[in-house]
Every structure is written in structure tokens, then in C-alpha cells.
Amino acid sequence: MSDRLAQVKKAADYIRARISAPPTVGLILGSGLGVLGSEVEEAAVLAYEDIPGFPVSTVEGHAGNLVIGQLEGNRVVVLQGRFHYYEGYSMDEVVFPVRVMKLLGVETIIVTNAAGGVNTSFSAGDLMLITDHIKFFTDSPLRGTNIADFGPRFNDMGDAYTARLRGVAREVAASLGIPVHEGVYAHMPGPSFETPAEIRMLRTLGADAVGMSTVPEVITAAHAGMRVLGISAISNMAAGVLDQPLNHEEVMEMGRQIQDAFVSLVRGVVRRL
């Protein structure tokens, strides 16, 4: 057994010993979106720092708790905050929770983020279902010796953002009167926000939104054969779209403004799974 697999199993065993039933749905909540974790019923709340092998989130708006319980008739595990490459973590550490989720029994992941709007028809406060991604510059979470327990050496990424789940999300959004876009998410390493020239490049290449997370987790989930729904909350327009500077406080504030629509959409999707 590889050291990495042993570490993941140790964390999964620690969590399994503290819950009454295994989760089937995983939720990864981005900046300003962690409020959904407080709506989980019959919840066991585990601090990241107490789970063997877990990194600790250092970014404002990421509570740093693993919440396991009941939501809309499903057993869920919720990450209130994630880990980023720009924090200094290795890719192994960034995607560690996804692998733990897989060993706990999770087969469907809803991964969310706060993103910058690259598509000029978007506005801050919009929601976007991710159809595909563009990955720039950072390491792959699958680099190194392949862990066959999770997936093959070379994995398909043709339906990494599961089309069937997007269909469910579209139906739920329509039933709730929540407008949603669909588009391509570009991953940049951060922590600096992108330059206007980089945003023009991304728009030319077909990106609709940009952020500093999500893609490593989705690659890892796809490798492990998990179904993925990706949702971006457009927290600001990207550099050069509007004549104003970018800051993290704006991201957090917009997360608070759109959390009702976001929570309603995610709860509706979980109900349908």
C-alpha cells in the first residue's frame, strides 16, 4: 500500500468511527458559500485540524469543518472550506478530502466556488453551471505513481462535469425561478487576481469564468469515477471588464448576497439525487 493511500484510509477510518451512517453525496463549498453546512441535520462536525492528514484552510470565508449528516433525504458530507495550491499546499494535499470522500462511499460531488466573470454578458451575483474547464500552469493532482485503488493511470475527462447532473440542476433552477448560466471555468493558480491581458486571453480561449480552485478536485473525482456537478457563483467581474480594483472582501460580500438562491438550488439538486 502506498503512503498516500494509507494516509487517506487513516482519515476515512477516523471519520467513519464518528458517524452513524456513510455519506453518499459530497459538497465542497467555496468562499462565502459555507452557510449550507449549517443546514445539515443530525450533524457530526469535525474540525479539519482533528482529522489525520487533513490540511487546515487559511482563507477567510472557509470555516474549516467537515460536516456529516442529513440533507434533503440524503446522507451528505460537507466541506466548509477547501484547500488551494496558492496556500502552499501540494496537489496531494489539495485533493486529499476528495479521496477521503471516495473511501467513505461518496459517488456524487457538488463542487462550488466563487468566480470572476469573464463572459461580459454575466453580472456579479449570477450562478453558472460548469460544463467544462481549462487548466493553466499548475501541477496535476494525478502526477506521480498512480493509485490504482482510485482509478486508472490515464483517465477520461470527456464528461468530468456530469451532463445528467447539469440537467437536474437546470430543472431545479427553472422550478425555483433561479436564472442560471452554463459555461467553461478557467483555473488559474493565484493568489494574485488575473491581469486584464490574462482575462482577454481566457475569453479568447472560450472561458466564461475564472477562479483559483475546483479543477484539481474535479480531476481527482473524475479519476475515481465520481459524478460531479460544478456551480460557480459569479462574485465579481474579472480584471479589465469593469474599471475597478478587485478584492477578496467583494467576493465575500457577494457570497452573502446570493447565498439564498445558491442554497435553494443546491438543496433542490440534493433532493433529486
87 in catalytic set: yes
Q: Which of 14, 39, 72, 248 is catalytic?
A: 248
62 in catalytic set: yes
The H-assigned helical ranges of the chain are 3-16, 91-94, 96-104, 163-176, 196-205, 215-223, 248-272
181 in catalytic set: no
Q: Which of 11, 31, 161, 207 is catalytic?
A: 31
Q: What are phi and psi of 104, to 5 degrees?
A: -75, -15
- For residue 91, the number of C-alpha atoms closer than 13 Å in the C-beta half-sphere is 16
- For residue 41, the number of C-alpha atoms closer than 13 Å in the C-beta half-sphere is 7
Query: Amino acid identity, residue 154?
Result: F
Distance CA 56, CA 63 (A): 10
86 in catalytic set: yes
Cross-strand bridge partners of residue 180: 127
Distance CA 197, CA 149 (A): 42
Q: Quick one: how many helices (H) and strands (E) in the chain?
A: 7, 9
185 in catalytic set: no
pLDDT band of residue 243 (cuts 50, 70, 90) is: low
114 in catalytic set: yes
pLDDT band of residue 252 (cuts 50, 70, 90) is: low
For 221, the grid coordinates are 473525482
Q: Which of 11, 85, 87, 233 is catalytic?
A: 87
CATH of the domain at 120: 3.40.50.1580
**Cβ atoms 53, 10 nearer than 8 A:** yes
For 198, the grid coordinates are 490574462
21 in catalytic set: no
The pLDDT tens digits for 39-97 are 999 999 999 999 999 987 766 555 789 999 999 999 999 998 889 999 899 999 999 99
213 in catalytic set: yes
Indicate the SS3 state at residue 75: strand
**pTM higher than the cut 0.85:** yes
Mean pLDDT, the chain, rounded, equals 91
Q: Which of 38, 44, 74, 86 is catalytic?
A: 86
Contacts of 230 (CB under 8 A, 6+ apart): 110, 111, 112, 113, 129, 130, 133, 161, 185, 214, 218
Q: Which of 65, 84, 173, 222 is catalytic?
A: 84
Note down the domain range covering 202: 3-272
Report the share of the chain in percent with pLDDT over 70. 90
Average pLDDT for 112-119: 94
pLDDT for 266 equals: 95
Q: How many domains does the chain have?
A: 1
Q: Which of 43, 212, 226, 254 is catalytic?
A: 212
